[in-house]
Amino acid sequence: MPIEFQADDRRRLIRVTASEPYASTDVMAAIERQWSEDKWDFAMLYDLRQAVDFVFRVSPALVSAHVRKISGGRKRGPVGLWIAGAATQFQVGFDYARLTKDFADVEVLATAQDVDEWLERNAPPL
């Protein structure tokens, strides 16, 4: 399975781990699940470190348009994109953050420390 979805209701956190091969449709399915399970305001951490080719598989414009469509304008919970790899992969993350700035707070994370700090701000342990 290219996308693993784990929800922690107590922390109001969803972790999505992507592995190869996957595509925009897999990412959109995780987003749809977040919406359908009424967890839209949960923090969502995407672990994309194993997804080395996501630059070619995921369209920031397509995914952001999908988020806008299914949410009906409702602001989404914070989103963290944990990326490891080439500058082009980070650019995809930055493009997504720019495209969703009106309806989601998206941060591009590069290190484990970035992730720990993001989790502390957005889904602290109980």
Q: Which residues contact 71 (CB under 8 A, 6 or more apart)?
A: 35, 40, 103
pTM: 0.90
For residue 57, name the pLDDT band (cuts at 50, 70, 90).
low
Q: pLDDT value at position 89? A: 82
Model confidence pLDDT, tens digit, residues 80-120: 999 987 788 888 899 999 999 999 999 999 999 999 999 99
Domain with 19 in it? 3-122
Residue 107 CB-half CA count within 13 A: 17
Tell me the pLDDT tens digit for each residue of 4-34.
999 999 999 999 998 877 777 888 899 999 9
Domains contained in the chain, number: 1
| Residue whose pair of structure tokens reads 């469509």 in the numeric block | 69
CATH, residue 64: 3.90.190
